[in-house]
Amino acid sequence: MARNTPSFVCQNCGAVTSRWQGKCDSCGEWNTIVEEGGASDIGAGPGRPARKGRAFTLEPLAGQTQEAPRLASGIAELDRVTGGGFVRGSVLLLGGDPGIGKSTLLIQTTAALARAGHRSVYISGEEAVAQVRLRAERLGLSSAPVELAAETSVEDIIATLSQGKTPRLVIIDSIQTMWTNAVESAPGTVTQVRGATQVLIRYAKKSGASIILVGHVTKDGQIAGPRVVEHMVDAVMSFEGEGAHLFRILRAMKNRFGPTDEIGVFEMTGGGLREVQNPSELFLSERDLGAPGTAVFAGVEGSRPLLVEMQALVAPTTLGTPRRAVVGWDQNRLSMVLAVLEAHCGVKLGGHDVYLNVAGGLRIQEPAADLAAAAALVSSLANAPLPADAVYFGEVSLSGMVRPVAQTAARLKEAQKLGFARAICPEPGREGAPEAGLTINGVGGLANLVADIASRGAPGRRTNAPRPVAARAGAPALTTRKPAGDDFDNLG
Ligand code: TYD
Ligand code: MG
């Protein structure tokens, strides 16, 4: 007869082991392995009485579907990210660094819903009622009929919420402070966080209330506590921002009911979070016009075009291995662009440190930023400022060609709206250039762009004195324009 062998489950990643260990082999976390039930829970052995299966009805693929009933918060930047509002019975996890503004965003959201006549409850496990009131007062929201409590027991919370009308939105700030009777470990432990989340999810599904859980973020940017919580909830959002900048970006990392590529932009003001309807204006507001090493990238985040400045600094290195540092963009893409510049455009960067920064603390994921990054890098190396009225976009392939990207028309329209006169972008495809009020400079290969930028450079201002290009054999001539310096070996 099969014995019920206990199984040990990592509370962080869910990996199962046959014996207890201090460290999980799968995710590397310490003290997350907990004994859970017997192995007979799954795959009943011969010792378990066989249960007769119950027949259920199979459904055809076609049929009546119910549109998820959503409730828009009225905060457009938030609704954009959730996909149009809070879905009934859904649970959303909001992560972010301490002090970034999660509690502020959520008190504003509950106030907006309460004012629109929906029952909204704000449960704070971190702050006293008086502190939450004080913040609401600062934000001018005291008059909103939000129901408020400072509580940490999920059983008590659910018992309270079950009285009267089902709330439409419940905020739990934060999930790490909650605890449930169902689990014995101390509040804040992984097991407790998971247990409390489970109880709250069950309540949401049963009652139809939408719940937002606030989750703390660890130093490396993960939502603290079990990763499994991320799998349990319907949507995961993160609230991001740079300490020094006032704007905050809300991003969906997982969304069962909406897109994950939209971003919401807010600005932290003395009166709380303000929506930013035109983020491009904000991101370009502190532009360093005429400085070498900056290029404006015409990007798209979700359905919205967004103009940002990419800044590069290329400086001779004093180290054996030159530094490649990047903030706001993918390190691997930077390496790729540098390799293409070296291999196909004759730009030598082996002796230079390279720094690339996306201004304003935005994080870009699009490959369309390749061309803007390359332009900024070459501009810095050649000490040649790029034209202030130009935007750049296009994907660079490993062969050095500039490839078309999606949503060209939207990018061009946004650039024109903000007063740009030129777009440096991939050659228009078969369908021809989209109607735009700006000049389109199609770039077929990255080498053409490099030659163009290098020709604007101010030689002599760089530390490397220009040397006759003919001294190095084998370098293919691309153009007859004057070389900007020693770092371009195939122009001459
Ligand atoms: P908070 O919402 O408490 O952050 P979190 O819940 O993510 O930890 O925000 C706290 C910060 O926001 C704090 O540093 C002060 C700032 N803040 C403002 O600048 N203006 C305001 O109106 C409010 C309420 C907060
Ligand atoms: Mg808070």
Domains and CATH numbers, the chain: 7-40 (no CATH), 70-277 (3.40.50.300), 282-461 (3.30.230.10)
Question: How many whole angstroms from 438 Cα to the centroid of ligand 1?
Answer: 41
302 burial via Cβ count (<10 Å: 0-12, 13-18, 19+): middle
Q: Would you give the DSSP letter of residue 242?
A: -
Question: How many whole angstroms from 101 Cα to the centroid of ligand 1?
Answer: 5
- pLDDT at position 15 is 80
Count of helix runs (H) and strand runs (E) in the chain: 11, 23
**Residue 124: closest CA among 190, 177, 77, 63:** 177
The pair phi, psi for residue 345, each rounded to 5°, is: -120, 0
Q: Which ligand is nearest to the CA of 239?
A: 1
**Residue 224: closest CA among 189, 197, 179:** 189
Question: How many whole angstroms from 259 Cα to the centroid of ligand 1?
Answer: 27
Q: In this structure, which residue's CA is closest to atom 25 in ligand 1? A: 272
3-state SS, residue 76: helix
Q: Which residues line ligand 1 (CB under 6 A)?
A: 96, 98-104, 135, 138-139, 268, 270-272
Name the pLDDT band for 26 (thresholds 50, 70, 90).
confident
DSSP string, 313-372: EEEE--SSS--EEEESS-HHHHHHHHHHHHHHH-B--TTEEEEEEEGGG-----GGGHHH
Question: How many whole angstroms from 99 Cα to the centroid of ligand 1?
Answer: 6
Q: Which ligand is nearest to the CA of 104?
A: 1
Q: What would the two tokens of residue 315 be?
A: 């400086």
**Residue 299: closest CA among 244, 386, 344, 359:** 359
Question: How many whole angstroms from 273 Cα to the centroid of ligand 1?
Answer: 9
> Which of 268, 269, 274 should be mutated for ligand 1, with most atoms under 8 A from CB?
268
Q: In this structure, which residue's CA is closest to atom 13 in ligand 1? A: 99
Name the pLDDT band for 488 (thresholds 50, 70, 90).
low
Query: Which atom of ligand 1 approaches the CA of 126 most closely?
Result: 6
Summarize pLDDT for 214-260 with one digit per residue, the tens. 988 765 656 556 577 888 999 999 998 876 677 888 989 899 988 88
Alpha carbon of 458 to those of 317, 372, 384, 463, 484: distances in Å? 21, 21, 6, 12, 6
Question: How many whole angstroms from 101 Cα to the centroid of ligand 2?
Answer: 7
Name the pLDDT band for 459 (thresholds 50, 70, 90).
low
b or e along 157-194 (b: 16 or more beta carbons within 10 Å of the residue's beta carbon)? bbebbeeeeebbbbbbbbbbbbbbeebeeebebbbbbb
- pLDDT at position 461 is 44
**Residue 258: closest CA among 38, 83, 473, 451:** 83
Among 44-58, 182-196, 435-449, the range scoring the smallest mean pLDDT is 44-58
Residue with tokens 């532009």: 287
Residue 336 scores a pLDDT above 50: yes
Single-letter amino acid, residue 487: D
Q: In this structure, which residue's CA is closest to atom 21 in ligand 1? A: 272
| Highest mean pLDDT out of 145-149, 246-250, 475-479 | 145-149
Question: How many whole angstroms from 84 Cα to the centroid of ligand 2?
Answer: 24
Asked if 177 contacts 171 with a C-beta cutoff of 8 angstroms, the reply is no
Summarize pLDDT for 263-291 with one digit per residue, the tens. 899 998 888 999 988 888 777 877 777 78
Query: Which atom of ligand 1 approaches the CA of 97 most closely?
Result: 7
Residue 3 scores a pLDDT above 70: no
Question: How many whole angstroms from 97 Cα to the centroid of ligand 2?
Answer: 9
Q: Which ligand is nearest to the CA of 177?
A: 2
Q: In this structure, which residue's CA is closest to atom 11 in ligand 1? A: 99
Query: Which atom of ligand 1 approaches the CA of 135 most closely?
Result: 24
Query: Which atom of ligand 1 approaches the CA of 107 most closely?
Result: 2
Alpha carbon of 133 to those of 6, 103, 147, 255: distances in Å? 48, 12, 11, 31
Asked if 130 contacts 137 with a C-beta cutoff of 8 angstroms, the reply is no
Q: How many CB atoms lie within 10 A of CB 422?
A: 16
Residue with more model confidence, 327 or 15: 327
> Which of 100, 104, 105 should be mutated for ligand 1, with most atoms under 8 A from CB?
104
CA separation for the pair 417, 222 (Å, rounded): 38
Question: How many whole angstroms from 99 Cα to the centroid of ligand 2?
Answer: 7
Query: What pTM does this model have?
Result: 0.74
Q: Would you give the DSSP letter of residue 30?
A: B
147 burial via Cβ count (<10 Å: 0-12, 13-18, 19+): middle
Residue 50 scores a pLDDT above 60: yes
Q: In this structure, which residue's CA is closest to atom 10 in ligand 1? A: 99
Chain-wide mean pLDDT for the chain? 83
